Every structure is written in C-alpha cells, then in structure tokens.
Amino acid sequence: MLTQVVREGFSNVRRFYWDRNLLTWLVAIFASGFIVFSSSRLHRDVLYFAVFLPFLVFSTREQWRLILQNTGIRLLAALFLFLLLSLAWGPGEDQIDPFDRFRWAVLSLIYFSVVLVAASEDSRVLVKLGLVLSIAACAAVLWSSFQFYGTANGLQGRVYNHLFYSDNPIRGSVGLAFAGALAGLLLFTEKSLSPWMKALFGATFVFVVLFLFLGQSRGLLLALGAAMGVAFIVHGRLKWIALGAIAVGIALIASELLFGPGRSFIERGATYRLDIWQAALLPGLEAPFFGHGLSVEREIFVESVGKTFYSPHNLFLVAFLLGGLVALALLVLLVVFAVSRAYRHRRDWEYRVVLGLIAFGVINVSLTGHEIIYRVEPHVWVSFFLPLALAYSGQTSLRR
C-alpha cells in the first residue's frame, strides 16, 4: 500500500514537472546566474540541485535513449573522451586533477542534454529564456548604474567591477551580451510577441549595447552584431544590415570622441589577437594529429609584442593545441552539423534565432575561448553549448 502511494506520488510530481515545463524555467534561471549571481557557489548549487537533480530523477529511459542517439551528444562525448585520453601522452604539468577534468566533462554533457530536452519538450523555450535573461540583464544594468554611480570611473568602471562574481569584466559581460543578442533576435523575428514583451526585449537590447559599448567589450559587440547580421541575412532583411553598418560607423566615431587617444576601438584594434593566434599555431604544428594532450601548458609567449598570454584566446586553436586535428575536426563538425540543421529549418523563426545565437557563440569563443573542459564557464556554457544544443534539439523528438 505504501509503495503504491509513493509510486503514484512520484508519477504525479514527474507529470507536473514535465507538463509545466519547469525544466525550461530552471535552465533560464541558471543562465541568468551568469549575469546576476554574486556567488559562484550559489550558481553551482542552482545547477546541481535545481537543474540537474530533478532532471536526472524525472527523466525516463526513453528520453535517455533518444538523447544518446543525438548527433550533438555523440560528437561532444567523442571530443571529451579523446581529450581525456590525451592525458596519457600529455606532459603531466596541468595543475588540475584528471578527475576534475572527467567530472567537468560529465557535467558538461549533462548540461547539453538538459538543454536538448528542455527545447524538445517546450516549443516556447526561446521566449521563456529571453524573458528571464532580459529581466536579469535590465536589473543588472540598472542596479549597477545606480548602486555604483559616482564610485567608479564612469559606466565602464562599473562593468569592469560589478558583474559576475564581481571580479572579471569579460566573463561578466558574456551573459549580458548573450541576453542582448537573444532579446534583439526575438524582437526582430518573432511576430506574435505581446506589446510588453516587445518593450522588454527592446529595452534589453538597447541597455546591453550601450553597456558593452561604454565598457569597450569589442569582441562581444562584434559577436552581437554577427548574431543580428546572420539573422537578417537569413530572413532577407537587407535594409537592416545597411542600418547596422551605419550604426557601426557612428559607434566608431563616437568611440574616438568619448574614449580619447589610445582607447578608441580603432586604435586598440584586435589586441594582438593575430599575433597570439600565430604564436599558438606553431606549437600545435609540432603535434598536428593528436596534439600535446589536455595537460599541456596553455600560456603563449608572443615574441613580436614581448608578452605572455594565458591562452591562445581561440577555442578552435585550443582544441588543435590539445588534441590536434582529431579534436579540431570533432569541434568543427559539432558546429557545422548544428548550423546545417538550423539552416535547413530557417523558415521557422526559432531556427533563425538559433542561427544568430550560433554566430554569436562562434565569434565569442573564437576571440576569447580559453578552455573546453573547465568548470561552469560562460564563454562555453552559455554562448557556445547552449545555442548548439538548441540546434540539435529538433533531432530528439521528445515533445508529447
């Protein structure tokens, strides 16, 4: 009798969990944590206990069977497995325990699966994700602006000090920029939005662009522009591309006037990116097929500028350095198959949004990608894994 009551209770809770699409809201709250959470411990607790635990408890055997058949999961698992095996021929200098690398690889796969299932179960996943992220982004911008007004060196000082764990401006701006890109894409592609949603997404887009501009987050602005440009091209809105080009020109002129000599976008250029990539390519060519292993030192000394950088600043170069052409091919295929699937369904507004988000992620990790298997990292988890999982979700038909 007791066993039957427990089973019925569990079935009712699981039905409520899936019917109410709680997984979508929980994923959105976790993603918003990259913008508003002030503690990395709290952020991880939300991931483990609010997202992963109920997902693992309430998922069915059929769902896991379909997940394991997903091309995206298989490619990502193959990439992680090869990189973990590369520890066998690496130099053994990595400061992180191999068990930690294995743990983060497993957690990354679970996270990818979670997004797959959430998008497959909920047809409004993009709108809900955009809603939560937009609220978080607007709240972060307004709170940061008022709370620290006059105590930092202008708005860019507040960007540099008071987003994402209060310590790192680049990581802190990734979630903010992603929220702005998603808001802009939803605003220009989804025609059935209510007036208040349009107002929210429009305000988010404007706030984020202004915040990133004043913070001089050039790579994220480029990624955001690429996201909008790809969506406009696919949608055939060429006039919006022309207007975007004019806006870029105005922004460059404004940066010259606002930031002064030596700090404008044009003068700062690509911050030695080409020099870093060229220097990172040379050690990669020394072990072109299987790479130097996951434990190899990531620091790159750039002789032309006399500086040492802590990584190649490009996720694809990182893959090549660690796992050679094998790892690079798996990573490229992961992106290519996702783009191909989204492009085939480009008549649906959801896939036009996903194409834009993939463009955002690829540009972002190509300019600031540092690690593939490493903690809960916004560059990879939010801007890269999330849109790729959304693209692959249509292959896993779980929606009842």
375-to-1, 47, 63 alpha-carbon distances in Å: 45, 12, 26
Beta-bridge partner residues of 309: 300
217 domain-assigned: yes
Cβ neighbour number for residue 251 with a 10 Å cutoff: 16
Q: Per residue of the chain (400 residues), what is the pLDDT tens digit?
A: 678 878 888 888 888 888 889 999 999 999 988 887 756 777 888 899 999 999 999 998 888 988 999 999 999 999 999 999 988 887 765 556 788 889 999 999 999 999 999 998 888 999 999 999 999 888 887 776 666 554 544 444 444 434 433 344 445 678 889 999 999 999 988 888 999 999 999 999 988 887 777 766 778 888 888 898 888 888 766 666 656 665 665 555 555 555 555 555 555 555 677 888 888 888 888 888 998 888 887 777 777 677 777 778 889 999 999 999 999 999 999 999 999 999 998 888 899 999 999 999 999 999 888 888 877 888 899 999 999 999 998 754 444 3
CB 79 within 8 A of CB 331: yes
57 domain-assigned: yes
Q: Which two tokens stand for residue 206?
A: 């404007």
Q: Which of 395, 338, 383, 389 is nearest to 357 (CA)?
A: 383
1 domain-assigned: no
110 domain-assigned: yes
Range(s) of the domain holding residue 324? 23-236+270-395
250 domain-assigned: no
Q: How many structural domains does the chain have?
A: 1
CB 178 within 8 A of CB 217: no
DSSP element (H, E) containing 308: strand 307-309
17 domain-assigned: no
Helix 169-189 / helix 154-161 crossing angle, nearest 10 deg: 100
117 domain-assigned: yes
Coil, helix or strand at residue 300 = strand
Helix 2-19 / helix 22-36 crossing angle, nearest 10 deg: 60
146 domain-assigned: yes
CA angle 300, 301, 305 (to 5 degrees): 130
Cα distance between residue 275 and residue 305, in whole Å: 8
